[in-house]
Chains A and B, each alone.
Chain A
Amino acid sequence: MENIVQPKPYKISEVRHETDLEYTFRFDTDIKVNHGQFLMLSIPKIGEVPISVSDQGDGWLEFTIRKVGKVTNVIFEKVAGDVMFLRGPYGNGWPMDKFQGKHLIVIAGGTGVSPVRSTLNFCARNEGFVKDVSLICGFKGCNCILFKSDLEKWQNNFKHTWLCLDNEDKEGFCRGFVTNYIKELPLNEYEDNYEIIVVGPPVMMKYVGLELIKNGFSEEKIWMSFERKMSCGVGKCGHCRIDEYYVCTDGPVFPYKIAKNLVD
């Protein structure tokens, strides 16, 4: 019988430093992934952690990993040519068929930009897949800004872009939380033909949801991606369960009408 938790080795082809704490690893692999899915990555000394795919292309996948604590440091010593172990992909990913041909609104905060980056890059690379993209993207401060070259590209390619920093000023960035800019989204322009992606820390997602509803957006069109602790990724270990849902197999993407009721 197939061992569903069997990790397989893949070669790292590139390591990029996004910030002092966040590195992006590109792997050579033929694993096919839906935008917004995640894989289980084996980290020496730790075990396995779920990591969302932060970009993908023909024969490669990228993951952006944050350095937390001493023990994860081993992974940050990895260089191109080294091997690491993966299994997956798991979860449902974003409902891309629903997004097609519509105005896509993306509201992302901090490391929450990772699980939506492949979708944004896909939209940027495939003009016409969605009508246009409105992006509100926030980081804590200058040191936390991820995917700098992508941000520049998105700012040029997308119809509306707000890049914000919570408490710091920087050229090209507005100041304040992403929730502050929801009222600036041109609801009329979307003519009821839109879908919204929200991803970020739990508190941010909660308030973004409330602010969107307050500003007249429809709850049926909102999608949120959850990050929870997982040991297996395949509905066994129990850590990610909320109510009758398992974030690993039923999510990580949930429609807002389910997401808003999920109390951990």
Chain B
Amino acid sequence: MNQDINIKTLQKNCFRQSKVPGVFLLQMRVPGGYVSAEMLEIVKHISETWGDGNFHFGTRQTFDVCGIKYQDVPAVNEYLEKYIKSVEEDVCGVDMDLIAGEKVGWNPKAGYPTIGARNITACIGNYHCVCGNVNTFELARKIEGIIFPSHYHIKINISGCPNDCNKAHLCDFGIIGVAEMEYHPDRCIGCGLCARTCEKGSTRVLTLNEETGKIEKDTCCCVGCGECARVCPASAWTRKEEKYYRVIIGGRTGRQTPRTGKMFLNWASEDVVLSVLKNWQNFSAWVMNYKPEYLHGGHLIDRAGYKKFKEIMLEGVKLNPECLVAEDIYWHETEYRSNFNVKPLSLHHTAGPQDKK
């Protein structure tokens, strides 16, 4: 097959190169991993008309349709219009004409405008799960328009509770729903079930004081899972109505330096999480000297250094009083090759505007 194909252009259009020349895989965004089941009809039509008749759940909760031929891409993009409009514009309120906040103008017949900001994944959260503390996909939908469309890479995973089934610890910007708990000693029968549950499945912060028959709590180490409220037979533990979040940054997999993310914010309100994320485009632009390149968010933090990251990300953010911010972060990476970071100065990456030099 003799075809001249710009695979970079197709990649930005959310078509991924396959082993077979001229055959691509379409990635359809599903913010928060949650859409109306009627969307499956669209997936079905694309797959059966232009694809191989199947679909794969992308590892970032996208609908991935394999086997799309290069010449069919325009037809697929045209058909995608109703899916993108429904999911991105109607459900998430995304302004498709903006790219990283800049007015660019979107051609609705031309498919996805960017691939940089990856699909936001989420567990089912408190919409269904007995452990969930927050509505994860509603948060994803609020974030979608802040990070997408954009050529700047960011992977966001949302978990409804500190059990972190959705691996907020393994992405650039992980968000975990945490519950601030209230104890009502007048309703406590001193059965100690919360303390046993906390010991068995959480951070062992509760103890039954045998002399008072009441629970004592090491508030500092509470992860906000809410298991105490889930097991209490008398509602002596309840969640506060306000929702709080833990933000984990810099987690990643990869060939070079995979690592678990570290805590950036704890007990942040939703407003704080959203306004921090609004600074992401600025931060990315600053690190890469205003020229987007294919580089994941965690690496941007490495290049800028945590303190610069913190400075830019918190710009103009009004922290809620409960919110705690990491003063510093001590990364722990898997170094497949020892002294990976020690190399000639000329090979070091730069960060920030370079025009002064």
A-chain residues with CB within 8 Å of residue B210 when the two chains form the complex = 71
Chain A 147-178, CB-CB to B under 8 Å as 1, else 0, gives 00000000000000000000000000000000
Chain B contact surface mostly:
loop
B-chain residues with CB within 8 Å of residue A45 when the two chains form the complex = 211
User: Nearest chain B CB to A74's CB is how many angstroms away?
Assistant: 11
User: Nearest chain A CB to B286's CB is how many angstroms away?
Assistant: 62
Once the chains are docked, how many angstroms separate the CA of A71 from the CA of B212?
A: 12
Once the chains are docked, how many angstroms separate the CA of A191 from the CA of B210?
A: 55
A-chain residues with CB within 8 Å of residue B211 when the two chains form the complex = 45, 71
Which parts of A39-64 form the interface with B (CB within 8 Å)? 45
Give the A-B contact count at a CB cut-off of 8 A.
Answer: 3
**Chain B residue at minimal CB-CB distance from A71:** B210
Bin the interface of chain B by size.
Answer: under 10
User: Nearest chain A CB to B214's CB is how many angstroms away?
Assistant: 14
Chain A contact surface mostly:
loop
Bin the interface of chain A by size.
Answer: under 10
Once the chains are docked, how many angstroms separate the CA of A45 from the CA of B211?
A: 7
Once the chains are docked, how many angstroms separate the CA of A40 from the CA of B78?
A: 85
**Chain A residue at minimal CB-CB distance from B213:** A47
Once the chains are docked, how many angstroms separate the CA of A57 from the CA of B211?
A: 36
User: Nearest chain A CB to B326's CB is how many angstroms away?
Assistant: 42
Chain B 209-241, CB-CB to A under 8 Å as 1, else 0, gives 011000000000000000000000000000000
Once the chains are docked, how many angstroms separate the CA of A71 from the CA of B213?
A: 13
Once the chains are docked, how many angstroms separate the CA of A71 from the CA of B210?
A: 9
B-chain residues with CB within 8 Å of residue A71 when the two chains form the complex = 210-211
Once the chains are docked, how many angstroms separate the CA of A45 from the CA of B209?
A: 12
**Chain B residue at minimal CB-CB distance from A70:** B210
Chain B 183-211, CB-CB to A under 8 Å as 1, else 0, gives 00000000000000000000000000011
User: Nearest chain A CB to B273's CB is how many angstroms away?
Assistant: 47
**Chain B residue at minimal CB-CB distance from A69:** B210
User: Nearest chain B CB to A49's CB is how many angstroms away?
Assistant: 15
User: Nearest chain A CB to B259's CB is how many angstroms away?
Assistant: 47
**Chain B residue at minimal CB-CB distance from A47:** B213
User: Nearest chain B CB to A135's CB is how many angstroms away?
Assistant: 40
User: Nearest chain B CB to A70's CB is how many angstroms away?
Assistant: 9
User: Nearest chain A CB to B149's CB is how many angstroms away?
Assistant: 66
User: Nearest chain A CB to B191's CB is how many angstroms away?
Assistant: 15
**Chain A residue at minimal CB-CB distance from B211:** A45
Once the chains are docked, how many angstroms separate the CA of A33 from the CA of B211?
A: 32
User: Nearest chain A CB to B173's CB is how many angstroms away?
Assistant: 50
**Chain A residue at minimal CB-CB distance from B210:** A71
Once the chains are docked, how many angstroms separate the CA of A45 from the CA of B210?
A: 9
Once the chains are docked, how many angstroms separate the CA of A169 from the CA of B169?
A: 66
User: Nearest chain B CB to A167's CB is how many angstroms away?
Assistant: 33
Once the chains are docked, how many angstroms separate the CA of A45 from the CA of B213?
A: 11
User: Nearest chain A CB to B299's CB is how many angstroms away?
Assistant: 57
Once the chains are docked, how many angstroms separate the CA of A96 from the CA of B3?
A: 111
User: Nearest chain B CB to A42's CB is how many angstroms away?
Assistant: 15
User: Nearest chain B CB to A72's CB is how many angstroms away?
Assistant: 12
Chain B 259-282, CB-CB to A under 8 Å as 1, else 0, gives 000000000000000000000000
Once the chains are docked, how many angstroms separate the CA of A71 from the CA of B211?
A: 8
Which parts of A80-119 form the interface with B (CB within 8 Å)? none
User: Nearest chain A CB to B207's CB is how many angstroms away?
Assistant: 16
Q: What are 3 residue pairs bridging A and B, where the CB atoms are less than 8 Å apart in the complex?
A: A45-B211, A71-B210, A71-B211
Task: Enumerate the 3 nearest inter-chain pairs by beta-carbon distance, A residue then B residue, closest first.
Answer: A45-B211, A71-B210, A71-B211
